[in-house]
Structure 1
């Protein structure tokens, strides 16, 4: 018999999700294995989610809603669950990012989180996580990207250094897929990507990555991170300095069109169909 532990639904969004899943499953007269058969997973996974030991995905939540005819309950809940998996210090920024009208980002070392593929995100988060639920962290990062799927999405303008394209995160397949994803995102009207080439030399982003958020009715925000946590401020002088630096970076970077050409060239030259070191060709 599956070990049942009592959940406090008010303890966290994950606990509330688990408690609701158990309540609605039992109301439908299904045991865990029976529900698992309906949503194409194991009864064990149902039990892990009901006891808040496993984080549900959005697809799983949609399948639950269809199976239990909940009217979208779990699809609505899963956004809160996944947001709760973000670092506590990052959640206030994620809340503001989801409401922003304009998102400006400078990235010196990795692809911006809003533009990462799940495989690339996994490699980045793996390097930063120690024995933590990597699947949940990846799902939470990908969930943030839903802001770009809104009916009226924010303008997302990203400047990245050329080093981001050439730093092999994961294998060649991961990088090729990531750069191809950047090119697809570049086709969207509300997404602009510029690459700051090596030839630009010293630049205004030498002190590290930062983000700027602009809203219709609220003060602008500048966001930075150190190796411990993130820092947000609406201080006018800091915001003014942030936008000044960002304008310098955009001016020094390749145009959007030239950037797409560089991304495509690096993708083919460095992550194309050459064999991996073990002799296996890439797809």
Structure 2
């Protein structure tokens, strides 16, 4: 068990959060149990957060801030804590997402993390690795808060039809995921287009990629390998990928027709009636 007296606030954002929580609680003259009773959490959980053994959620932080009158200090730390829990090689990408005014992504087999549903996230991250799955899933889902900002980025996703039919996590998970995509059908900030099989050869055959555009900085192209990311601000690379993305968007179905295809796949491939037939076999 971690000795709380040796917790180093400079070790990580999570350690700093725990250190500050303990400091604020003690200044208020409360035990872990007493604070837990006020915010409707167990004293044990308070202790786990204070010793950096448990990730603090946004709701937890908001309740503690209100109870201790911190002026929102812990709530403001949550994005930093969550970002620090992402793989080291991916943390730069989360930072790009948070600064971008426009994000354009082409995905071949898996729905982009910014539009993944909670159960889909767990299914993707849980392949061959169940260690701290809840915390890793929470860290990925926390990235989606960029859409709650006062000035959210415009998000475009061209998604291969294959990603709709690659059954990840089972039928129920896929129903939830495709239903989640449909919630953005009328959202002008989040746009989903499906690249159908009928498009044949296309400008994205080399693989998935993202283009990040900023208010005053040069655009960045990001591609990904196994456990590694490759950002590039090379003008030629950005120009090439931007052109490819324009062609992919032109070859994809319209936003309206894409939603219809998503709805059809959800009903025909992952519908309740399909699940019932499978159970009877």
> Which interval holds the TM-score relative to the shorter structure?
over 0.9
Give the distance between the partners of 1:33 and 1:55, measured in 2 at CA: 18
Give the distance between the partners of 1:228 and 1:55, measured in 2 at CA: 23
Give the SS at the match of 1:54: coil
In the alignment, what sits opposite 2:54? 54
Report the CA distance shift for 1:44/1:213 in structure 2 as closer, same or farther (over 3 A).
same
Deviation of 1:42 (Å): 1.8
Give the distance between the partners of 2:116 and 2:58, measured in 1 at CA: 17
Give the distance between the partners of 2:4 and 2:103, measured in 1 at CA: 44
Between stretches 170-179 and 253-262, larger displacement belongs to: 170-179
Deviation of 1:186 (Å): 2.5
Deviation of 1:41 (Å): 2.0
Task: Check the 8 A contact 1:5/1:51 in 2, yes or no.
Answer: no
RMSD (Å) for aligned C-alpha atoms: 1.8
Deviation of 1:4 (Å): 3.5
Give the distance between the partners of 1:89 and 1:104, measured in 2 at CA: 20
Within the alignment, does 1:73 sit opposite 2:73 as a pair?
yes
Q: How many residues end up aligned between the 2 structures?
A: 279
The 5 Å alignment of 1:194-273 reads 194-273=193-272
In the alignment, what sits opposite 2:158? 159
Within the alignment, does 1:130 sit opposite 2:129 as a pair?
yes
Give CA deviations for 1:196-225 in whole Å, capped at 9, x if unaligned. 111112222122110001112110100000
The 5 Å alignment of 1:16-27 reads 16-27=16-27
Give the distance between the partners of 1:202 and 1:2, measured in 2 at CA: 56
Task: Check the 8 A contact 2:2/2:51 in 1, yes or no.
Answer: no
Task: Check the 8 A contact 2:185/2:256 in 1, yes or no.
Answer: no
Give CA deviations for 1:225-256 in whole Å, capped at 9, x if unaligned. 00121000000111111111111211211111
Give the SS at the match of 1:33: helix
In the alignment, what sits opposite 1:13? 13
In the alignment, what sits opposite 1:38? 38
- Give the TM-score, by structure 1 length: 0.94
Give the SS at the match of 2:6: coil
Give the distance between the partners of 2:138 and 2:190, measured in 1 at CA: 22
Which runs of no fewer than 5 residues in structure 1 stay unpaired? none
Give the distance between the partners of 2:38 and 2:2, measured in 1 at CA: 19
Deviation of 1:2 (Å): 9.6
Deviation of 1:152 (Å): 2.0
Give CA deviations for 1:87-129 in whole Å, capped at 9, x if unaligned. 11111121121111110000111111111111111111112x6
In the alignment, what sits opposite 1:108? 108
In the alignment, what sits opposite 1:190? 189
- Give the TM-score, by structure 2 length: 0.94
Give CA deviations for 1:48-87 in whole Å, capped at 9, x if unaligned. 1111111111111111112222111110011110010111
Runs of 4+ in 1 over 4 A off after TM superposition: none
Give the SS at the match of 2:53: coil
